Amino acid sequence: MAHATHQDTIPRLKRIEGQVRGIIRMVEEERYCMDILVQLQAIKAALGKVESEMLKQHASHCVEDAIRSGDAAEQRQKFTELVDLMGKFRG
């Protein structure tokens, strides 16, 4: 489900996209490995923040709406989605 708050994520993702392009240039220019690795870590941290914010949005909108609805099937679905997602994080 899309939310107005998803729009807040776009500038962050565009910034990350620019960072990725920068790393591509660094690799093409055969820059020092450690410099590239530092930039890769920055991208991972930025993606982690986007992921965390998206999870908060999901909990405060989708999950909260399901709880408020009183619809047991919808509540179960949202809970299952979260459990499945957490399982993917573990690998």
Beta carbons within 8 Å of 90's beta carbon, 6+ residues apart: none
Q: Place 3 in a pLDDT band, splitting at 50, 70 and 90.
A: low
Q: Tell me, what CATH number does 24's domain have?
A: 1.20.58.1000
User: Domain count of the chain?
Assistant: 1
Which residue bears the tokens 């930025």?
46
pTM of whole model > 0.85?
no
Q: What is the pLDDT of residue 49?
A: 94
pLDDT digits (tens, 9 = 90+) for 7-50: 889 999 999 999 999 999 999 999 999 999 999 999 999 999 99
Radius of gyration of the chain (CA): 18
Range of the domain at 34: 4-90
Per this entry, what is the length of the chain?
91
What is the Cα–Cα distance from 79 to 14, expressed in whole angstroms? 30
